[in-house]
Amino acid sequence: MMASSKKGKVTSVKSRKGLFQNLVFVVSHTEDPHVTGIIKEHGGKVAKALTEKTDFFVQGYNKEDDGRLGEAGDKNVRVISPEYLYDCLESSRVLETHSQALGPVETGDGFLHCMHTSAIVNCFKPPGIQCREREELPQSFGEFLKTEKFLPVYERNTIYLLPFDRESRPSTAKKRTADGEIKTKKGSLSRNVGKQVVLDRICQFLVGFFCMSVKILPALFLTVGKKDATLKAGRYNYSIAVHRTRKNNIRLDAMEIIGVLEELRPKDGFCILGITSEDICEDPSDKAPLLGRATGDQAGVLSTCYHDKAISQKHQAKSGDSLRALLNTAAHEIMHMFGMDHCSYYSCVMNSWSDPTADPSKHPEKVSPLHLCPIDLRKLHYSVGFDCVTRYKNLQKVYLDFGINEEVEWIEKILEIINKEKK
């Protein structure tokens, strides 16, 4: 086996014989025996059991978990795919896992080279233990490129937002003015000013985040029965299963909603995100709150039910926290529609877990940030194609407008590093 270095030199097998010397690997039972052979051939030790002394656990991306991914996470063992081993052989050195996941510096696609520097890396915190997705392998940029996925094209390049909710009878509120009485109607999703503001803000944020066209479709209405709900869309009625809690509160089936949204996505739509005040669930027996769900079929749903009250309150701090959580979930679910998996490299929008009921001021570790780590930023850059600096500046304006000051300051720090690297 021969490999070429970046400078074009041919590196012999002999010089790499001890590449993995003093490193201990455990290989998934589902992995090809060839992987074990490569490790041993280059000086590594292959153990049978995971311990704190294990350096790497090898698990092929999208291969069946043999039950030890979670165990590796408990013991803080770095999880890698065979791709990592091949990249180390190609480079003739043991690579830092995050750097390998980000991919080569020279790509020719206009991505920021400074994303590989320690100055940028130091701006990102590691994910909390509760944010780690322990049932799937971390998705590197290289693995993302090999994943079957849909990407925006000229004929299909718009993100659509579809609000839907139970229709309530409009009530009449009276407001006295100097000229007399003014009657205003309120009560339904399409007429609720507060919810429209939230929709507009989600739309504004997504434009800056994805650098794509984002449009809000006319609201649809639900009729909720004992066992199912009916979503009215023009001449058609779509049925969605209803799950009831012990207190008789309803939870709509998230996967059935997604099935309906797949049919309602406009022809020019890259994806569609349904937004509802109703509670949603994927597994009726799971009592944990679910803010959103999406698939790689360009459809997803976002529930605002845990934040509607806070958003309507006059207390700006609580309202800001709730809006931030909704923006995070909207971006997270749409990233899934691009074929991106959860991130366990950094604290990132793509972390697999974020507590929607947590108070960020008391438990900041339980709330994911609004920014993308370098690895996921590169995936989005590849998918959409944008100027990274322009994207950061546009998002900074959005956060300034929304009063999300910590993100404004964070972007300012990133831009300073980028400007230094250019000089």
Domains of the chain: 1-95 (3.40.50.10190), 105-149+339-423 (no CATH), 150-332 (3.40.390)
The DSSP annotation for 354-422 comes to: --TT--TTT-GGGS--SSPPHHHHHHHHHHH---HHHHHHHHHHHHHHHT-HHHHHHHHHHHHHHHHHH
Q: CA-based Rg of the chain, rounded to a whole angstrom?
A: 24
* Predicted model pTM: 0.85
**How many CB atoms lie under 10 A from the CB of residue 226?**
7
- Name residues whose C-beta falls within 8 Å of residue 179's C-beta, 6 or more positions apart in sequence: none
What is the pLDDT, as a whole number, of residue 176?
A: 47
CA 244 – CA 248 distance, rounded (Å): 5
- Name residues whose C-beta falls within 8 Å of residue 72's C-beta, 6 or more positions apart in sequence: 26, 50, 54, 57, 59, 78, 79
Q: On the CB side of 156, how many CA atoms lie within 13 Å of its CA? A: 12
What pLDDT tens digit does each residue of the chain (423 aa) get?
333 333 333 344 445 678 999 999 999 998 989 999 999 999 999 999 999 899 999 998 878 888 888 888 888 899 999 999 999 999 999 999 999 999 988 766 789 888 988 999 999 988 876 665 556 678 999 999 998 888 998 899 999 999 999 875 444 444 444 544 444 443 344 445 667 888 999 999 999 999 999 999 999 999 988 888 999 998 899 999 999 887 778 899 999 999 999 999 999 999 999 999 999 999 888 877 888 999 888 999 999 887 765 454 444 444 557 788 889 999 999 999 999 999 888 989 998 865 555 554 555 555 668 999 999 999 999 999 999 999 999 999 999 999 999 999 999 999 999 998 876
Instruction: Copy the structure tokens of residue 81.
Output: 């795919």
CA 207 – CA 193 distance, rounded (Å): 21
CA 54 – CA 47 distance, rounded (Å): 8
Alpha helices in 7-115 (DSSP H): 33-41, 69-74, 82-91, 97-102
Q: Is the dihedral of CA 369, 374, 379, 380 positive or negative?
A: positive
The Cα-based distances of 367 to 120, 231, 249, 329, 405 in angstroms read 21, 32, 26, 11, 16
The Cα-based distances of 102 to 345, 392, 407 in angstroms read 10, 19, 23
Instruction: Copy the structure tokens of residue 104.
Output: 């080569």
Angle at 367 between CA 304 and CA 243, to 5 degrees: 35
Please give the single-letter amino acid code of residue 402. F
Contact 313, 273 (CB under 8 A): no
CA 52 – CA 74 distance, rounded (Å): 9
What is the pLDDT, as a whole number, of residue 185?
A: 40
Q: Is the dihedral of CA 409, 411, 415, 416 positive or negative?
A: positive
- Helix, coil or strand: residue 269: strand
What is the pLDDT, as a whole number, of residue 423?
A: 66
Instruction: Copy the structure tokens of residue 411.
Output: 């972007």
Q: b/e string for 241-272 if b means 16 or more Cβ within 10 A? A: bbbeeeeeebbbbbebbbebbeebbeeebbbb
What is the pLDDT, as a whole number, of residue 184?
A: 40
Locate tokens 């790497």: which residue? Answer: 56
CA 70 – CA 57 distance, rounded (Å): 11
Angle at 205 between CA 204 and CA 207, to 5 degrees: 70
* Nearest alpha-carbon partner for 209 in 374, 416, 419, 391: 391
What is the pLDDT, as a whole number, of residue 285?
A: 83
CA 333 – CA 293 distance, rounded (Å): 6
